[in-house]
Amino acid sequence: MIKLLEKLPPTECPKFLHRVVDGVCGRDPPRLGDYGNTWSLTEWMELLDGLSSFFRFTVGRKCSEEEVQVSLVDLSGGHLEAVLACLKARGEELRQALVERTNAVSSAQLQDFDWQIKLALSSDKISSLQMALLSLSLDVKQGGVLKPLSLELDRHELQTLITSLEAANKVVLQLK
Amino acid sequence: MEEVDRILIHSLRQTGTEIGEDVESVKQFSSELIVEAVVRCLRVIDPPLGNGLPPSLPPGMSARFRLGMSLAQACQDLGYKGEIGYQTFLYSSKSALLQQAIAAQIKAQLALPWVPPACRLPLLCQTQSAGVSDAFRSLALSLPPTQGLGKPPVKEVADYCRDFLPPVTAQPSQHASVPASLLERHALELSAAQEWENEWNSQGLLTRLSPEVPPDLTPLNKPIWTHGTPRSRKGWARLRKRIEEQLRSASQARPSAQHAPRTGPDPDLTQLLQAFGGATPGGDVLAKGTRFTHTEKFTFTQEPEPSGQQMAVASVMPSSRQSEEALLAQQQDELQALQQQLQQLALRTEGVCGDIKQLTVSITQVSDEVKRRELGNSEKEDSVRVKKQTIDLLPDAENNLAKLQTLVESSAKRVVSLASQWEKHRAPLIEEHRRLKELCSNRELQSSRKLSEIKDLHDKIRQSADEAKKKEGLHKQLVTEFENLPKDVSRSAYTQRILEIVGNIRKQKEEITKILSDTKELQKEINSLTGKLDRTFAVTDELVFKDAKRDESVRKSYKYLAALHENCTQLIQTIEDTGTIMREIRDLEEQIETENGKKTVSNLEKILEDYKAIRQENSALAAKIREA
C-alpha cells in the first residue's frame, strides 16, 4: 500500500507525509483535492490508511531505524529517506497522540468545556428573582462521536458538582 | 405617567432611536422622533417589514403622507387593534402614541420565542443574550520544542520546523478554535510546570529529579493526563506497584468467585502480571525499570566493598606493630635509594631527549635532500627518454615525420570534438545556473517582502495594543460613570406602583357597583310608584265618573282630577327631559376636554400648512408637466 507513495516525486513527499502525521495527531489530514491528479480515490484511501497505521505501528512499537528500513524495503531511496526523516522529526508528537488515544479508552471522555454565568431577574411567577445561574456546556466524546451537553445549574447544584469533582481528583492524587 | 414615559424612552433608546437628553416625556416628541421610534420598533419586531421603511421623515409632504399610511398599515398588520392612521404619526396626541409604542414594545418582546443558546440566530441575539456564537473547541497544536541549554537540535526536527510547520494560526481548520487551542496549550504548560514545582518542593531530593532544569515540559495533550503523570522515578515505581497489586487482587478474586475453569481475560491478566514481575527484578522490558534497578544495584553493591577493605586492614594490623622501628628504617633506606635512582633516570632521559631532537632535525634535512635528488632524477630520466626516442626515429625520418603529422592532426581533431562536446554540456549547465540565480533572486525578493509584512504586522500589533489600552481606559471610565448613575429605575418599584394602581381600580369598581345597585333600587321604586299612581288614578277616575252623571259638583271635581293628572304627568316628563339634557351636557363637556387634550388647534394649523404645501407641490408638478 505504501508503495503507492512512489507516484509522488520525492521532493513533494515530506510535505505530504507531514500532513498525514497531522491527521494522525488530530488535525486536518491532507485533502484528495490537492493530490487528485496523482492518485485515484481508492488508491488515496488505501495510501492514507496504510500510512496512518504504519506511523502508529512504528511509533507504538518503538521500532529502530533498521526495523523501519526492513519493513519499507520495497520503497525507493528518496521516498524511504523522506519517511524516515518525517518519522524522526514527528516521533515525539506521534507518541503524544498515541498516549492520548490510549488515555481515551474509557467509555466517555471530556473533550472541552465552556461556561457562562447568568443572572435571572424574574420568572413567570416571581417578579424579583435575582438568582445566579451557570450554563455549562460540555463536549463529551463517546465512542468517537462528539456529543454536546448543555447544563444549567444553580448555586447548590454547582457546589455538588464541584465537590464530586474534587473527590475524584483526590482519588487520582492518592493513586500517584 | 412619567415613569411609564421614562421606561418607554429608555427602551426606545435601546432600539437605536436617538432621543436627546432633554426629552423627558412622550409629550415632547416631535413628529420626526415619533416616526423614527416607530420604524425602529418595527425593525425589531419584523425586520423585512421594518427595513423597507426609512427612519427619517422625507421632505416632501406627499411622501410624508405615504410613509404615515404605510406605518399605520404595518402596525395594523402586527395586530394593533386600536384606531390608527397617518394622522396618528404626523399629528400626534399623547395617549394614542403611548398606547401605540407600548403595544409595539410588548409585541417585540413576545414575538420572539426563547430558544436554547446553541440554536440562536443573529436576529435573536438582539433581544436575547448572544450565547456562544463559537463553541470552545481546542485542538492539539504542534510547536517547535524548546531547546535545552547544551543540546544541539536534531537536524530532522529543525528541518520540519523550518520548512513544513505551518504557523499556529493556520493549524486548526476552523479559525475560531485558534484562541481556544492556544489557551488550552498554555493552561497545559502551566499546570505541568506547577505539578513539577509542587513535587520538587514537597519531596525535594528524594524524588531524584534533575534540580536545575525542569524536565522538558513537553506537555501531553490533555491536562487530565498530565495531572496524573508522576514525573519522578519514585512516582513511577509507586504507580507500577499499585497497578500490580490491583491486578493481582483482581486475578485472585476472580477464580475464587467463579470456581470455574479460567475463562477469556484471565490468561491475559496473568501474562500482564508476569510482564510486570519480569520488569521489576530483571529490568529488561521497560527503560524506566532498568534505570531504577540500576540505582538499586548501585546502592546495594557499594556497601560490601568498604567492609572487605576494612577486614584486610584489620588482619594486617597486629603483625606490623611488632617490628615497627626496623621496618621504618628499612623503608627510609629504600626510599633514598629509589630517589637517587629516579634522579639518575631523569638525567638520562633528558640527555636522550636532546639526542632525539638533533636526530629528527637531521632526518628531515636528509629526507628533503632525497626528495630533491629524486625530482632531478626523474627530470633527467624524462629528457633521456625523449632524446632516445628521437634518436631511434632518426634513421627513417620522412616516414616518421608523416606519422607524427597525422598524429598531431588527429589529436587536433579530437580537441575540436571535445570542445564541441564541452559546449554541448556547457549550454544547459549555464542555463541551469541562470535559472537558479533567478530563483535565488526571487526568493530574496519574497523574503524581503515577507520581512516588510512582518514589520507591518509588528506595527499593527503595537497599534492594536495601544488601542486596547485606550479602550480599557475608556471602559474603566464608563464603568465609573455607570456606577455613579442613579439606579432608581428599579423593577420592583414599578411592580409595586402597578399593584397600587390595580388596588385603586378595584376600590373604584366596588363603588361603581354600589352606585349602580342604588340606581336600580331607585328605578324599581319609581316603577312601583308609577304603577300605584296609575291604578289609583284609574279607580278614582271610575268612582268619580260614576257620580259625575248625578251631581254637578262631582262633575267639577272630576274635571279637576283630570287636569291634575295631566299636569303631574307633564311635570314628570319635564323632569326626565332635564335629566337627559344634563347628561348630554356632561358628555359634551367631556368631549370638549378630550378634544382640547388632542392639541386639535395646533394640529389643524399644521394640517392646513401641510395642505398648502401639498397644493404648492401639486401646482409645481402641474407646471412642470405643462412645461414638458
Please judge whether B156 and A88 are an interchain contact, meaning their C-beta atoms are less than 8 angstroms apart. yes
- Least CB–CB distance from B225: residue in A92, A103, A127: A103
Q: Is residue A124 located within the same domain as residue A91?
A: no
For residue A175, what is the nearest residue in chain B, using CA coordinates? Answer: B239
Phi then psi dihedrals of residue B161, to 5 deg: -65, -35
Band (B234; pLDDT cuts 50, 70, 90) = low
Mutate to test the interface with B, among A19, A93, A101 (most CBs of B within 10 A): A93
Please judge whether A175 and B228 are an interchain contact, meaning their C-beta atoms are less than 8 angstroms apart. yes
pLDDT digits over B160-182, tens only?
A: 877 788 888 888 877 778 888 88
CB contacts < 8 A (A, B):
101
Q: Is residue A98 located within the same domain as residue A122?
A: no
Which contacts of B227-231 are long-range, i.e. CB under 8 A and separated by 24 or more positions?
A: B227/A169, B227/A172, B227/B191, B227/B195, B228/A172, B228/A175, B228/A176, B229/B195, B230/A176, B231/B195, B231/B196, B231/B199, B231/B207
Give the CA angle between residues B39, B41, B42 to the nearest 5°: 65
Q: Say how far apart CA A51 and CA A8 lie, in whole Å.
A: 14
Band (B486; pLDDT cuts 50, 70, 90) = low
CA–CA distance from B112 to each of B285, B378, B615 (Å)? 66, 110, 44
Distance from the Cα of A27 to chain B's closest Cα (Å) equals 6
Query: B-chain residues within 8 Å CB-CB of A12?
Result: none
pLDDT digits over B409-446, tens only?
A: 999 999 999 999 999 999 999 999 999 999 999 999 99
Please judge whether A99 and B220 are an interchain contact, meaning their C-beta atoms are less than 8 angstroms apart. yes
Report yes or no: A47 and A4 within 8 Å, Cβ to Cβ: yes
Mutate to test the interface with A, among B147, B156, B218, B229 (most CBs of A within 10 A): B156
Please judge whether B495 and A139 are an interchain contact, meaning their C-beta atoms are less than 8 angstroms apart. no
Query: pTM here?
Result: 0.38
Average pLDDT estimate for B397-403: 85
Report yes or no: B575 and B567 within 8 Å, Cβ to Cβ: no
Q: Is residue A87 located within the same domain as residue A158?
A: no
Choosing from B126, B142, B166, the residue where a domain stops is B126
Distance from the Cα of B221 to chain A's closest Cα (Å) equals 7
Average pLDDT estimate for B1-5: 64
Q: Say how far apart CA B575 and CA B599 lie, in whole Å.
A: 37
pLDDT digits over A9-52, tens only?
A: 878 888 888 888 888 888 888 888 888 788 888 888 888 888 88
Q: Is residue A83 located within the same domain as residue A128?
A: no
The pLDDT value recorded for residue B125 is 56
Query: B-chain residues within 8 Å CB-CB of A92?
Result: 145, 218
Please judge whether B491 and A127 are an interchain contact, meaning their C-beta atoms are less than 8 angstroms apart. yes
Structurally, chain A folds into a number of domains equal to: 2
Q: Is residue A137 located within the same domain as residue A85?
A: no
Report yes or no: A15 and A87 within 8 Å, Cβ to Cβ: no
Q: Is residue A25 located within the same domain as residue A52?
A: yes
Q: What percent of chain B has pLDDT over 70?
A: 67
pLDDT at B363 over 90: yes
Q: Taking the alpha carbons of B86, B91, B95, B100 in that order, is the dihedral positive or negative?
A: positive
Q: Is residue A150 located within the same domain as residue A79?
A: no
Q: Is residue A153 located within the same domain as residue A170?
A: yes
Please judge whether A114 and B224 are an interchain contact, meaning their C-beta atoms are less than 8 angstroms apart. no
Q: Say how far apart CA A145 and CA A165 lie, in whole Å.
A: 24
Give the CA angle between residues A61, A62, A64 to the nearest 5°: 120
Domain assignment present for B452: no
Please judge whether B117 and A86 are an interchain contact, meaning their C-beta atoms are less than 8 angstroms apart. no
DSSP A28: P
Query: A-chain residues within 8 Å CB-CB of B227?
Result: 169, 172
Report yes or no: A96 and B218 within 8 Å, Cβ to Cβ: yes
Q: How many helices and strands (H and E) does chain B possess? A: 18, 0
Domain assignment present for B564: no
Query: A-chain residues within 8 Å CB-CB of B132?
Result: 114, 116, 137
Please judge whether A25 and B238 are an interchain contact, meaning their C-beta atoms are less than 8 angstroms apart. no
The pLDDT value recorded for residue B28 is 63
Q: Indicate the range of A110-114, B316-320, B341-345 predicted with least confidence.
A: B316-320
Outline where DSSP puts E strands in B117-192.
none
User: DSSP letter string over B473-498?
Assistant: HHHHHHHHHHHHS-----HHHHHHHH
The pLDDT value recorded for residue B499 is 93
SS3 B147: coil
Structurally, chain B folds into a number of domains equal to: 2
Distance from the Cα of A46 to chain B's closest Cα (Å) equals 24
Choosing from B126, B142, B169, the residue where a domain stops is B126
More confident residue, B361 or B122: B361
Chain A residues with a Cβ under 8 Å from any Cβ in chain B: 14-15, 18, 22, 25-28, 85-86, 88-90, 92-93, 96-97, 99-100, 103, 110, 112-114, 116, 118, 121-122, 127-128, 135, 137, 139, 148, 150, 169, 172, 175-176
pLDDT digits over B581-601, tens only?
A: 999 999 999 999 888 877 777
Q: Say how far apart CA B597 and CA B607 lie, in whole Å.
A: 17
Q: Is residue A112 located within the same domain as residue A128?
A: yes
pLDDT at B338 over 90: yes
A138-142, B171-175, B380-384, B562-566: which has the highest mean pLDDT? Answer: B380-384
Q: Is residue B187 located within the same domain as residue B95?
A: no
Q: Is residue B22 located within the same domain as residue B120?
A: yes
Expressed as residue numbers, the domain containing B241 is 177-257+265-302
Q: Say how far apart CA B316 and CA B320 lie, in whole Å.
A: 7
pLDDT digits over A166-175, tens only?
A: 999 999 888 7
The pLDDT value recorded for residue B260 is 43
Q: Is residue B209 located within the same domain as residue B295?
A: yes
Residues 6+ apart with CB under 8 A from A73: none
Expressed as residue numbers, the domain containing A32 is 2-103
Mutate to test the interface with A, among B129, B138, B142, B174 (most CBs of A within 10 A): B142
Which contacts of B119-124 are long-range, i.e. CB under 8 A and separated by 24 or more positions?
A: B123/B47
Choosing from A103, A118, A150, the residue where a domain stops is A103
- Least CB–CB distance from A96: residue in B154, B173, B220: B220
Distance from the Cα of A96 to chain B's closest Cα (Å) equals 6
Please judge whether B137 and A139 are an interchain contact, meaning their C-beta atoms are less than 8 angstroms apart. yes
Q: Is residue A90 located within the same domain as residue A9?
A: yes
The pLDDT value recorded for residue B128 is 55
The pLDDT value recorded for residue B306 is 43
H or E stretch at A64 = none
Query: A-chain residues within 8 Å CB-CB of B228?
Result: 172, 175-176
* Burial class of residue B500 in the structure, from the number of CB atoms within 10 Å of its CB (0-12 exposed, 13-18 middle, 19+ buried): exposed
Which contacts of B53-61 are long-range, i.e. CB under 8 A and separated by 24 or more positions?
A: B56/B32, B57/B31, B57/B32, B60/B617, B61/B610, B61/B613, B61/B614, B61/B617
Distance from the Cα of A69 to chain B's closest Cα (Å) equals 17
Tally of CB atoms within 10 A around A55: 24
Tally of CB atoms within 10 A around B579: 10
Query: B-chain residues within 8 Å CB-CB of A14?
Result: 163-164
The pLDDT value recorded for residue B156 is 75
C-alpha cell at B622: 402641474
Q: Is residue B28 located within the same domain as residue B112?
A: yes
Cell 526523516 identifies what position?
A: A85
Q: Say how far apart CA B166 and CA A21 lie, in whole Å.
A: 13
Report yes or no: B138 and B181 within 8 Å, Cβ to Cβ: yes
Please judge whether B132 and A137 are an interchain contact, meaning their C-beta atoms are less than 8 angstroms apart. yes
- Of the candidates B487, B483, B497, the one whose C-alpha atom is nearest the C-alpha of residue B3 is B497
Q: What percent of chain B has pLDDT over 90?
A: 34
Angle, helices B304-322/B324-393, rounded to nearest 10 degrees: 120
Report yes or no: B9 and B16 within 8 Å, Cβ to Cβ: no
- Least CB–CB distance from B136: residue in A112, A169, A172: A112
The pLDDT value recorded for residue B146 is 66
Please judge whether B218 and A96 are an interchain contact, meaning their C-beta atoms are less than 8 angstroms apart. yes
- Least CB–CB distance from A114: residue in B129, B136, B172: B136
Q: Is residue A93 located within the same domain as residue A114?
A: no
- Least CB–CB distance from A100: residue in B142, B145, B222: B222
- Of the candidates B620, B626, B624, the one whose C-alpha atom is nearest the C-alpha of residue B62 is B620
Report the Cα B257 to chain-centroid distance in Å. 54
Please judge whether B492 and A127 are an interchain contact, meaning their C-beta atoms are less than 8 angstroms apart. yes
What mean pLDDT value characterizes chain B? Answer: 77
Please judge whether B160 and A150 are an interchain contact, meaning their C-beta atoms are less than 8 angstroms apart. no
Please judge whether B218 and A92 are an interchain contact, meaning their C-beta atoms are less than 8 angstroms apart. yes
Residues 6+ apart with CB under 8 A from A155: A132
pLDDT digits over B123-149, tens only?
A: 555 555 555 556 677 777 877 776 555
Domain assignment present for B29: yes
Please judge whether B239 and A175 are an interchain contact, meaning their C-beta atoms are less than 8 angstroms apart. yes
Query: B-chain residues within 8 Å CB-CB of A88?
Result: 154, 156-157
Tell me the ipTM for this assembly.
Answer: 0.78
For residue A12, what is the nearest residue in chain B, using CA coordinates? Answer: B164
For residue B216, what is the nearest residue in chain A, using CA coordinates? Answer: A92
Residues 6+ apart with CB under 8 A from B213: B148, B149
Distance from the Cα of B228 to chain A's closest Cα (Å) equals 7
Q: Is residue A53 located within the same domain as residue A16?
A: yes
Average pLDDT estimate for B304-323: 49
Q: Is residue B81 located within the same domain as residue B21?
A: yes
SS3 B231: coil
Choosing from B63, B91, B126, the residue where a domain stops is B126
Buried b (16+ CB within 10 A) or exposed e, B60-93: ebeebbebbeebbebbeebebeeebebbbbbbbb
- Least CB–CB distance from A176: residue in B135, B156, B230: B230
SS3 B102: helix
Query: B-chain residues within 8 Å CB-CB of A89?
Result: 154, 156-157, 159-160
Q: Say how far apart CA A72 and CA B105 lie, in whole Å.
A: 73
SS3 B198: helix
Query: A-chain residues within 8 Å CB-CB of B135?
Result: 112, 114, 137, 139, 148
Distance from the Cα of A74 to chain B's closest Cα (Å) equals 23
- Of the candidates A64, A55, A46, A1, the one whose C-alpha atom is nearest the C-alpha of residue A23 is A55
Distance from the Cα of B239 to chain A's closest Cα (Å) equals 6
Distance from the Cα of B220 to chain A's closest Cα (Å) equals 6
Report yes or no: B131 and A137 within 8 Å, Cβ to Cβ: no
